[in-house]
């Protein structure tokens, strides 16, 4: 997987914040409902699924338990996340169906045609060479298999000062492409007709809700855990995310594409 170098970006504070705001096992908003919405038009039951940027693994447990995937392999460049996700799979009694692998930047060491579905939620924005990644994902998919993703993209009003300021606050690295660039990269990798769906307003709502909860019901708990200064920083991050969505500096899209089958 071609990515920026992994540098342990997900600190304990980021993991705590994600857990309090988005639930156990999730590093981005939406939870089980957003995962269900993302995969509702793709058959997961009985299929072999590869999750790119699997994070803490909450989504993989959902894919196995609720959506009845036969096998899920989550890959990530962060060792701590891979270890935690694997431990959660064991605790859930799903270690025979949900497994994790630490990967290095570059092509995935996976056999051609070994998965029916490649899934990714809010992680490909961390990949520099997206064209190389999509070519590799095309390789590991079986004929007729699906690439299903949700991701942050450069919006139609890409105010870079907003984006740079946002990611300074987040303490994360990203490489944003636009929706047309994403679609072109997928086509170039062999996916002929990518389908897209705009989720920007939905995600803006998630961050607005986060701001309300941080300023109200969660405030005392978070101040007790990390102090008033960090609580203010958390709130500013959520406000910045909401601002980036509502000013069209960033966008969020579902993107779905199918590897042609021989008879297509």
> pLDDT digits over 61-84, tens only?
999 999 999 999 999 999 999 999
Nearest to 245 by CA among 210, 196, 194, 193: 210
Q: Write down the pLDDT at residue 262.
A: 81
Distance between CA atoms of 249 and 255, rounded to whole angstroms? 19
Counting the structural domains of the chain, the total is: 1
Beta bridge partners of 256: 148, 195
- The whole-number pLDDT of residue 229 equals 95
Q: What's the pLDDT score for residue 33? A: 96
Q: What value does the mean pLDDT take over residues 163-183?
A: 77
Alpha helices, H only, the chain: 12-22, 31-39, 58-65, 79-91, 130-140, 160-170, 179-188, 200-215, 219-226, 228-246
Q: What predicted TM-score, i.e. pTM, was given to this entire model?
A: 0.92
> Is 212 inside any structural domain?
no
Mean per-residue pLDDT, 5-21: 78
In a domain, 76, yes or no: yes
Tell me, yes or no, whether 218 lies in a domain.
no
State how far the Cα of 140 lies from the Cα of 112, in Å rounded to an integer.
4
CA angle 82, 87, 88 (to 5 degrees): 100
Q: What is the pLDDT of residue 164?
A: 63
CB count within 10 Å of CB 45 equals 9
pLDDT > 90 fraction of the chain, expressed in percent and rounded: 78
H/E stretch holding 175 reads none
Which tens digits make up the pLDDT trace of 201-260?
Answer: 999 999 999 999 999 999 999 999 999 999 999 998 899 889 889 999 899 999 999 999
Q: Which residue has the tokens 């981005």?
A: 28
- pLDDT value of position 163: 65
In a domain, 1, yes or no: no
3-state SS, residue 189: coil
pLDDT score at 4: 38
Cα separation, 158 vs 173, in Å, equals 17
Longest dimension (CA), the chain: 61
- Region 17-36: mean pLDDT is 94
The answer to whether position 9 is within a domain reads no
- The verdict on residue 112 lying in a domain is yes
pLDDT band at 165 (very low <50, low <70, confident <90, very high): low
Q: Which domain holds residue 80?
A: 22-155+173-200+250-258
In the prediction, which pLDDT does 175 show?
A: 82
Q: For 101-148, how does the pLDDT look when each residue is reduced to its tens digit (9 = 90+)?
A: 999 877 999 999 999 999 999 999 989 999 999 999 999 999 999 999
Phi, psi of 116 (to 5 degrees): -90, -30
How far does Cα 70 stand from its chain's mean position?
A: 21
Q: How far apart are CA 250 and CA 160, in angstroms?
A: 10
pLDDT at residue 3, as a whole number:
38
- Cβ neighbours for 41, distance < 8 A, ≥ 6 positions apart: 256
CATH code of the domain in which 125 resides = 3.40.50.150
Confidence of residue 179 (pLDDT cuts 50, 70, 90): very high
């Amino acid at each position: 997987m071609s990515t920026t170098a992994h540098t342990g970006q997900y600190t304990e504070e980021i993991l705590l914040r994600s857990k309090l705001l988005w639930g156990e096992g999730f590093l981005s908003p939406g939870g089980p409902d957003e995962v269900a919405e993302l995969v509702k038009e793709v058959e997961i039951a009985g299929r072999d699924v590869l999750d790119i940027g699997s994070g803490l693994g909450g989504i993989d447990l959902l894919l196995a338990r609720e959506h009845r995937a036969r096998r899920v392999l989550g890959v990530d460049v962060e060792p701590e996340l891979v270890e935690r996700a694997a431990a959660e799979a064991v605790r859930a009694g799903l270690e025979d169906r949900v497994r994790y692998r630490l990967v290095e930047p570059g092509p995935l060491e996976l056999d051609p045609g070994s998965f029916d579905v490649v899934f990714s939620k809010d992680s490909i924005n961390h990949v520099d060479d997206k064209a190389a990644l999509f070519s590799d994902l095309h390789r590991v998919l079986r004929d007729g298999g699906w690439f299903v993703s949700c991701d942050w993209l450069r919006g139609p009003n890409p105010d870079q000062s907003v984006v740079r300021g946002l990611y300074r606050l987040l303490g994360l690295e990203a490489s944003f492409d636009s929706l047309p660039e994403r679609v072109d990269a997928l086509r170039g990798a062999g996916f002929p007709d990518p389908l897209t769906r705009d989720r920007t307003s939905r995600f803006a709502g998630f961050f607005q809700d986060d701001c309300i909860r941080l300023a109200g019901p969660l405030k005392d708990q978070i101040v007790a855990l990390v102090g008033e200064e960090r609580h203010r920083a958390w709130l500013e991050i959520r406000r910045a995310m909401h601002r980036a969505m509502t000013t069209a500096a960033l966008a969020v899209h579902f993107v779905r594409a199918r590897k042609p089958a021989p008879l297509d």
